[in-house]
Structure 1
Amino acid sequence: MSRLRKNLLAGFIILALAVFAVRLVVVQLVEGPALAQAAQEQRSRSYVIKAQRGDIVDASGKPLATSVKRYNIGVNQVKINTYFEPVMTSKDGKQVAERDEYGREKVKAFGPAAAAKKLAPLLKADPAELGGKLVAAPDKEASTFVYIAKEVTPEVWREIQKLGIPGIEPEEITKRIYPNGNVAGNIVGFTNIDGVGLAGLELSQDSKLAGVDGKALTEIGRKGQTIPVEDNYKKEAIPGQSIQTTIRLDLQNTCQQVVENTKAQMGAQVVLAEVQEVGTGKVFALCETNTVNPAEPSKSKDSDRGSKAVSTVYEPGSTLKVHTMATALEAGKLEPTSAFTVPSQITMSNGQTFRDSTPHGTQGLTAAGIIAQSSNVGIVQVGDLVKDSERYDKLRQVGFGKPTGIELPGESSGLLANYQDWDGRQRYTIMFGQGIAATIVQVTNGIATIANGGVSTQPHLIESWTKPDGTVEKKPVDAGKRVYTKETSREILTMMEGVISEKGGAPNAKIEGYPIAGKTGTTQIIAANGQQTGNIGSFTGVLPADNPRVVITVVVYRPTSSIYGSVVAVPAFKDIANATIRELGIPPTNEVPQLYPIGE
């Protein structure tokens, strides 16, 4: 070989080595970090460890909402291609893989199709359909994570793990369970598929229930095994707080059945009911028709997915007469036995005319008789003894015209215009519960104020929160605010007992062995055009009147059987009252009420 050719060959070799050296430098120093990162990302799996959402339980600890562990199963469409199923044989009583002459495992089946056949029975899926999910579509690149099944139980996931299929990876989640169907659904609310509260306590208490998610980072081997390397990272999730409510599940269940039955029997549009403990503000039951099932909220109308008990307002009607009377008693303007002349119709000094619901001749009624017989004509005479500002202040103190603060989203403040804005008619209609609007919670709490000796307490649904470490935080409840004196409250309760007497407006509300103090309410529903579109009948009662434990209110919207609360609401009240007596173990007193005289 000539010297020239030797030099050319040597130069070519040197050039080639130089190119390789440069490429090596580029790969190691320039592209190296990026390539290493890409390789690590291909081997790595980062996932969120979902925090266990806190439970919601009733007053005795029975679950209203709880969470269980589930797994979403995904596939790495790149890694799944490395799967193979070896040919197995029996050796020394054990199943082992057969090997060829070179020591390699013999392959029985391989790839996504083989994996699909193994997975399909566990996932209860069609093998062909499942196999289609394990590979990328012809016009798409293979993905490192595609869902193939959701909400798989831990037992099924353990069986999948045993298959050792590379690329089959879990995503740990929690699934919200509502074991009581729609019972208390309007209170508990529901979450979306990501576990975020959308209604009820699930929404208002979401920040406490949710907890804090954790995070994990691992490297996965060719066959799906975890590679123990220094960079593996795991931050455990912090569970959410659990909530104990004041709701008594059995009573809530009965209450919901009663309102549904009442709706059907009275031909009503909506029926609401509430049971509140006197002195504490604890709500034992808060019921409404068409209650949402938290497990299937999409099957309910939008209007039924929240709580109408806190969002829907109505004119309280004659139940408000007790506050008009209490304000006059408090101001020293009359006594329970004070006499009034009550015609069937009256025209007040400003020219406004009012009439009683049933025509009658001129009567002589005491103040107690006005309440017992629910006279509009009588109550406007009583209310006229007191300044508008005084009546407005008492209504505000009782809680009308402002939110109660109960722990449900969407609570309405109700409607109570400032007394300076009352016109010549409204200043009177408010005396008998028209021209004012309130929720059932506000009305019930107002009567509970009287039953509690004149002290108003805040109604609430939450008893306590329990933190992940077991620490219990009690719901702070203040001592309440005095609105009426004890004497006034006792006098009003006795007047309300007269409503249940034979000469009162609701004698059918009587429960043997238990003195009841109550008040009926009937009001019209007026549309924006001024036309009447229906009626609302209601009843609120104190049980037992001589030692008040609870206040129970029933509101019936647009009944077709009758317009009167004594007809449409009292039967439901009695059913719920009897269930409450059983639930709380209230003993009979058999006390005979010492009533005020009603009048002629």
Structure 2
Amino acid sequence: MIHLGFLRFRVLIIFFIGIFFFLFIVGRALQLQMVPNQRLLELASRQYRAAITLFPKRGVIYDRNMNELAMSRKVGSIFANPKTIRNSKQMAQKLSHLTGISYSKIYSKLKSKKSFVWIDRLVNDSVTAKLTQHPLEGVGIIYEYQRFYNNQELAGQLLGMTGIDSQGIEGLEYGYDAILQGQKKSLALMRDARGRTISVDETQFLEAQEGNSLILSLDKSLQFFIERELENQVHKFQARRGLAIVQNSITGEILSLAQYPYFNPNEFKKYPESVWKNQAVTESVEPGSTFKVFLTALALEEGILPSEQFFCENGHFQVNSKDSIREAQKHKYGWLTLADVLKYSSNIGAAKVALQLGKIPFHRKILEFGFGNKTGIDVPGEASGIIRPFKTWEKIDVSNIAFGQGISVTPIQLISAMSAIANGGKLMRPFVVKKIIESETGEIKETEPQILRQVITQEVSQKLTAILMRVIEEDGTGYLAALDEYAVAGKTGTAQKPNLERGGYYPNKFLASFLGFTPADHKGEKFTILVLIDEPKKYYYASQVAAPLFKSVALHTLRLFPSRWVGGTEEDTVTREGFWSILRDPLAGRAGMVPKGLVPEGSESERERKFLAGKFDSVSRRVDQNPSQMPDLRGKSMREVLEFARQAGLILTVKGSGVAVEQSLKVGSALQAGQKCSVTFKTHSP
């Protein structure tokens, strides 16, 4: 009896234990079904979702007149899920025929055990269209943004380019990458129970915050003109390369920065990496006789009169027992005044001036002008140049540096230093980015001109300008840079190129340059221009090679910015400025618009004539100077909206890019200066 009772007790215990576990399992199951658990949800999500990182729309880069220089467009990228493809060989053949990629390369991707592989990214629209019309099993399309430079080679080295992941790798694209880039987003890939990709969720990607936009100080029309002229001059003299910069002497902003050979950022891989570099900031050169300008500035500051004379040794100066200096072109000058040393570009005269001043003041003034240090320009890769410590300078070093040998400077340093002379002695920080438009808030941040320091007095600036204007006279070295109606102050430079391997200088390799500003006799705005022609053949003197190009660039610059320095009525100002800021349409190809009647000489091709002359019959279109009612801005470009806001005195915020689709102020409402207005822009999807 006791044994039987014990067995029953054991059975009951086992029964109740079983009931307990059954109820626990049912309860746990109900908890999992009814009560959310974040950790489990995440684990489950990983089983049917994967993610790839893509970059949203990159900010636009505009010129000073809101012409687009760099933009982003939505294009397709092809991906595949190898796990869902039954016949990899057959699919590889189809995709190879569709994309042009080799069969073996695609087949190796399709043999992958992954559920997502890229087949080809940023493909041609025609490829996307074919795949959309004739879909393939296990193959899909993801739309992402591709950088596009609609002016092809225009300002290629300045703009730079981006890689396949929309990351800047050169130029402004690299330097302002963090600003231009949008917020990175993960694109969700939906998977089935086996981990196979079944769909793509693009919602989050398409809604990602796009990057901020840049408005440059660059003028598209001027840039095109200078690039064309620079190319012609390089070919004319069979030179190795050329460079030209135009800077606003007063503010420091760069209006044009051109170099040849140029390259197309859309196809940058077709060009050697050496062509990608912005030589104006990354490379340094021996400046030659243009450096005499800054020696003369010191001389005037130290009290040497322009009329003070220096004996130029009849063309041969024995500096010491082993070193001597000769004049270029075998000139045999006797006594020359300080002004004539600069006018006739006497090497011996410059050496005599430098030796009289002494190496310590000379070295100090060189540094004050910004040589040997970065200018602070907002372009990546800036070099400092090379100015050796004055303690290492011997007598021959002082003599050579006086006419630009034995030192190394960048083109941007040269033009900035000359702008200081044009600007009453104020050295300005050069800059290229004029404004930044924040995509999220629409706020516009403007770059303010920055004075670095006063390098010479106003009085010295005026005296030196007068001397530099004499260089352009008929018997001066820069006479071919003279303009008929406008005063030019400048200096030629013909520098022998150093042989960096063997030492010394090449006997037949030269760098021809011209550095000057205009209108030199104008108290207001001026333009500083630097022209460099590297290794010209046949003729190599700057007076023959560089000065004529300076003249062409200067004249065109003054024509493009007439209202800045030419007096006129208010209506005249509107006619000029209104045409340039509003009627200049962006065109496909390497150029911008210039008004009819201002076609540069030598514009012979039909493409250039159409482009340079423009498509307007007249410049009679006027802008309403005092708009009293709010118009409908929908459909207008950002350039047009910004111009209207400027004239109406509105405080404008902008969002997005493309054309205006929404405005905060009601159409027809009364306008008052100082009112705030928000305008939203959108780009039409393809």
TM-score range, shorter chain: 0.7 to 0.9
- The equivalent residue for 2:463 is 491
Does residue 556 (structure 1) correspond to residue 533 (structure 2)? The answer is yes
Alpha-carbon distance in structure 1 between the residues aligned to 2:381 and 2:190 = 47
Q: 2:98 aligns with which of 99, 118, 125?
A: 125
- The equivalent residue for 1:50 is 55
Amino acid at match of 1:508: L
Does residue 435 (structure 1) correspond to residue 395 (structure 2)? The answer is no
Gaps of at least 5 residues in structure 1 are 1-17, 82-110, 591-600
Equivalent residue runs for 1:374-385 within 5 Å: 374-385=345-356
Does residue 567 (structure 1) correspond to residue 539 (structure 2)? The answer is no
- The equivalent residue for 1:14 is none
Q: 2:511 aligns with which of 514, 518, 536?
A: 536
In percent, how many aligned pairs have the same letter? Answer: 29
Deviation string, structure 1 residues 176-217 (Cα, Å, up to 9, x no partner): 101111110010001111111111011111111112212244
Question: What secondary structure is seen at the aligned counterpart in 2 of 1:468?
Answer: coil
The verdict on how the C-alpha distance between 1:537 and 1:362 changes in structure 2, with shifts beyond 3 A counting, is closer
Alpha-carbon distance in structure 1 between the residues aligned to 2:178 and 2:472 = 46
Quick check: 1:189–1:201 contact (8 Å CA) kept in 2? yes
- The equivalent residue for 1:452 is 423
Amino acid at match of 2:538: S
Does residue 75 (structure 1) correspond to residue 45 (structure 2)? The answer is no
Alpha-carbon distance in structure 1 between the residues aligned to 2:163 and 2:337 = 57
Does residue 335 (structure 1) correspond to residue 305 (structure 2)? The answer is yes
Amino acid at match of 2:423: N
- The equivalent residue for 1:266 is 237
Equivalent residue runs for 1:499-514 within 5 Å: 499-514=471-486
For residue 112 of structure 1, report the CA deviation from its aligned partner. 9.5
Does residue 283 (structure 1) correspond to residue 239 (structure 2)? The answer is no
Q: 2:373 aligns with which of 402, 409, 413?
A: 402
Bigger shift: residues 488-497 or 474-483 = 474-483
For residue 475 of structure 1, report the CA deviation from its aligned partner. 2.3
Quick check: 1:215–1:236 contact (8 Å CA) kept in 2? no
Question: What secondary structure is seen at the aligned counterpart in 2 of 1:147?
Answer: strand
Deviation string, structure 1 residues 377-436 (Cα, Å, up to 9, x no partner): 222222223131111111111111111122222221111111111122111111111111
Does residue 424 (structure 1) correspond to residue 395 (structure 2)? The answer is yes
Equivalent residue runs for 1:221-236 within 5 Å: 236=207
- The equivalent residue for 2:290 is 319
The verdict on how the C-alpha distance between 1:373 and 1:169 changes in structure 2, with shifts beyond 3 A counting, is same
Bigger shift: residues 469-478 or 275-284 = 469-478
Question: What secondary structure is seen at the aligned counterpart in 2 of 1:151?
Answer: coil
Amino acid at match of 1:125: L
Bigger shift: residues 238-247 or 210-219 = 210-219
Quick check: 2:230–2:259 contact (8 Å CA) kept in 1? yes
The verdict on how the C-alpha distance between 1:60 and 1:530 changes in structure 2, with shifts beyond 3 A counting, is same
Question: What secondary structure is seen at the aligned counterpart in 1 of 2:72?
Answer: strand
Alpha-carbon distance in structure 1 between the residues aligned to 2:315 and 2:253 = 41
- The equivalent residue for 1:415 is 386
Quick check: 1:53–1:211 contact (8 Å CA) kept in 2? yes
Quick check: 1:80–1:134 contact (8 Å CA) kept in 2? no
- The equivalent residue for 1:200 is 171
Alpha-carbon distance in structure 1 between the residues aligned to 2:485 and 2:550 = 16
The verdict on how the C-alpha distance between 1:509 and 1:165 changes in structure 2, with shifts beyond 3 A counting, is closer
Aligned residues: 525
- The equivalent residue for 1:105 is none
The verdict on how the C-alpha distance between 1:383 and 1:77 changes in structure 2, with shifts beyond 3 A counting, is closer
Quick check: 1:70–1:153 contact (8 Å CA) kept in 2? yes
Deviation string, structure 1 residues 237-266 (Cα, Å, up to 9, x no partner): 222111111111111111111121111111
- The equivalent residue for 1:463 is 434
Does residue 576 (structure 1) correspond to residue 544 (structure 2)? The answer is no
Deviation string, structure 1 residues 525-574 (Cα, Å, up to 9, x no partner): 12131353211111112111112511111111111122311011112111
Alpha-carbon distance in structure 1 between the residues aligned to 2:268 and 2:109 = 35
Quick check: 1:69–1:153 contact (8 Å CA) kept in 2? no
Quick check: 2:54–2:165 contact (8 Å CA) kept in 1? no
Question: What secondary structure is seen at the aligned counterpart in 2 of 1:48?
Answer: strand
Deviation string, structure 1 residues 80-118 (Cα, Å, up to 9, x no partner): 67xxxxxxxxxxxxxxxxxxxxxxxxxxxxx9999999x
Alpha-carbon distance in structure 2 between the residues aligned to 1:435 and 1:457 = 26
Taking structure 1 as the reference length, what is the TM-score of the superposition? Answer: 0.78
Taking structure 2 as the reference length, what is the TM-score of the superposition? Answer: 0.69
Amino acid at match of 2:514: F
Deviation string, structure 1 residues 354-389 (Cα, Å, up to 9, x no partner): 222134455332221111111112222222231311
Alpha-carbon distance in structure 2 between the residues aligned to 1:515 and 1:126 = 59
Amino acid at match of 1:573: F
Alpha carbon RMSD of aligned pairs, Å? 3.9
For residue 353 of structure 1, report the CA deviation from its aligned partner. 3.0
Amino acid at match of 2:457: T
Larger relative contact order (CA 8 Å, sep ≥ 6): 1
Question: What secondary structure is seen at the aligned counterpart in 1 of 2:494?
Answer: strand
